[in-house]
Structure 1
């Protein structure tokens, strides 16, 4: 399914285990708060004929362990990245809640802890690489949201109540972590607030032929997969863990952000800018 987000178009982090301890290299830059998603199986997707066809078949996926951001990347974190990289093509002047000063880039006052928006897929990928990480695959994102089983339609359970997610809210974004609904692993805002980029190209039929061990998505495509739903969506179906949407990777959107995963077993438990 191709998602129509509110956008402005421009032309355009898993840890493996070993018998011997790995050589540790501290990351050059700090990573925001992260949580370990342990290795093992989970059930991905949904039963045929119940929800969207691109979510079926329900299938078992095995993933290596990885760390994922508890929160969506914030304006303050992204501003630090811009300052360290001199902005370049990673800043979109007219829409981001970030400004440039003589000393670098800063989040607009009062918006420091809101999720960054208007970063296209390349921008999000560059930010993750700056932290020695990457964007999550669809499988990694869904396991972090759902947990090791498939019982949870939403990150916190089978029902959605007021305050658990920021959705159907034309008044706008919430600060990250405001929603009371947490995922199995303790991640915030995996439903609502902003949609989130993943690393995968989108293919509506991918689940029919996917590799079930550490799947990386299709080799190529026209659209990238996004997950999680946003504050402008008025259907609770778009808040579900298995919901998939296709988005132009070059687009910059008012309701689309991201979070990162890292492969290293070492991570810094402090968010950028703090």
Structure 2
């Protein structure tokens, strides 16, 4: 069908060109009339699959402040984290400094996280293995963000769709805008504008000493602790359908940049990278062991939903039920 549409669009123009040349004629070397051959048709561009719900948002070129200020870091202690959580957060929070100005060229980013419906088309077209956790209906509704995909899976999908994973800098600018918000919608916390652990269970994950304790109480299907919990029949846990919190959109209108699922980005993680990051279009370290995750997930404490918060809890081959992605492309 794509070929038929392409031929339908170019054939009339070629026929008209040939007809006019034939009528006018062209004088040849011997004085006769020669009908010129039509010019070769241009090589068609690769056909990019049309995907349902594949809307993108254009982010204009310009500067923004990336990372966290000392004032923003100091506010984290107000959450009342247990010592276990503070030990974990120390490295990650250190990686969010220093705040620095970055210039980005214009780009486009997906309005929503990639859904199960979109990813399913990719899997079936390419003959691939479905993502992990396909048997848990709380995770696999068509309108939910796809989870259980590795970094390699996410990068392959974006390439198939004619896109790529966003850089960490692109992701952060799309999430916080030039205003430098803590959350996509502003600086004031509002659990009604996103899906995180306190919205799922009424209790922020940061209030538990161990992840498995929170899982057991909420009935989370999360694999992070290697258990489905004692309340595994709780249909309230898991991600929400994409776009369920329009009031939590970023300054550019991008949805679900806080909570719902963690999102893979292109960059390798390095806690010291901001100290040496280039000012224009940074793409992260050349090598590393873990890729950056952004945005926080449906089972994450609210501090992880900060627009400047960066995580590295997964290696590229890993797959978890809290991790998805969205795509970007040059603008």
The TM-score bracket by the shorter chain reads: 0.7 to 0.9
- 1:128 is aligned to 2:150: no
- 1:44 is aligned to 2:110: no
- 1:224 is aligned to 2:291: yes
In structure 1, C-alpha distance between the alignment counterparts of 2:60 and 2:321, rounded to whole Å: 32
Partner secondary structure for residue 252 of structure 1: coil
Equivalent residue number for residue 57 of structure 2: 35
Once the two structures are superposed, the pairs formed by residues 101-140 of structure 1 within 5 Å of their partners are 111-140=141-170
In structure 2, C-alpha distance between the alignment counterparts of 1:182 and 1:24, rounded to whole Å: 37
Work out which of the residue numbers 297, 303, 317 in structure 2 matches 1:237. Answer: 303
Q: Deviations over 1:104-157 (max 9, x none)?
A: xxx99981100000000000000000011100010000000001232x100010
Structure 1: any 5+ residue segments left out of the alignment? 1-22, 99-106, 266-274
In structure 2, C-alpha distance between the alignment counterparts of 1:108 and 1:161, rounded to whole Å: 24
- The answer to whether the 8 Å contact 1:75/1:97 transfers is no
In structure 2, C-alpha distance between the alignment counterparts of 1:198 and 1:192, rounded to whole Å: 15
Please give the TM-score of this superposition, normalised by the length of structure 2: 0.65
In structure 1, C-alpha distance between the alignment counterparts of 2:277 and 2:140, rounded to whole Å: 43
- 1:166 is aligned to 2:232: no
Once the two structures are superposed, the pairs formed by residues 6-45 of structure 1 within 5 Å of their partners are 25=45, 27-30=47-50, 32-45=54-67
Equivalent residue number for residue 185 of structure 1: 252
In structure 1, C-alpha distance between the alignment counterparts of 2:296 and 2:44, rounded to whole Å: 36
Once the two structures are superposed, the pairs formed by residues 63-212 of structure 1 within 5 Å of their partners are 63-87=104-128, 90-92=129-131, 95-96=133-134, 111-150=141-180, 152-168=181-197, 169=200, 170=218, 171-179=237-245, 180-212=247-279
- The answer to whether the 8 Å contact 1:97/1:111 transfers is no
Comparing both chains, which one has the higher relative contact order based on Cα–Cα distances under 8 Å and sequence gaps of 6 or more? 1
- The answer to whether the 8 Å contact 2:116/2:140 transfers is no
Q: Which has the larger radius of gyration?
A: 2
In structure 2, C-alpha distance between the alignment counterparts of 1:142 and 1:46, rounded to whole Å: 11
TM-superposed CA distance for 1:91, in Å, is 2.6
In structure 2, C-alpha distance between the alignment counterparts of 1:212 and 1:110, rounded to whole Å: 40
TM-superposed CA distance for 1:47, in Å, is 1.3
Please give the TM-score of this superposition, normalised by the length of structure 1: 0.78
Select the structure that is richer in strand: 1
Select the structure that is richer in helix: 2
In structure 1, C-alpha distance between the alignment counterparts of 2:96 and 2:130, rounded to whole Å: 34
Q: Taking structure 1 as reference, are residues 236 and 262 closer, same or farther at Cα in structure 2, changes over 3 Å only?
A: same
In structure 2, C-alpha distance between the alignment counterparts of 1:73 and 1:191, rounded to whole Å: 15
Partner secondary structure for residue 126 of structure 1: helix
Q: Taking structure 1 as reference, are residues 26 and 157 closer, same or farther at Cα in structure 2, changes over 3 Å only?
A: farther
- The answer to whether the 8 Å contact 1:194/1:230 transfers is yes
Equivalent residue number for residue 213 of structure 2: none
Equivalent residue number for residue 54 of structure 1: 95
Q: Deviations over 1:204-228 (max 9, x none)?
A: 0000001110001000000000000
Equivalent residue number for residue 248 of structure 1: 315
- The answer to whether the 8 Å contact 1:155/1:183 transfers is yes
Structure 2: any 5+ residue segments left out of the alignment? 1-42, 74-92, 201-217, 219-236
Moved over 3 A (4+): 23-27, 107-110
Q: Taking structure 1 as reference, are residues 166 and 36 closer, same or farther at Cα in structure 2, changes over 3 Å only?
A: same
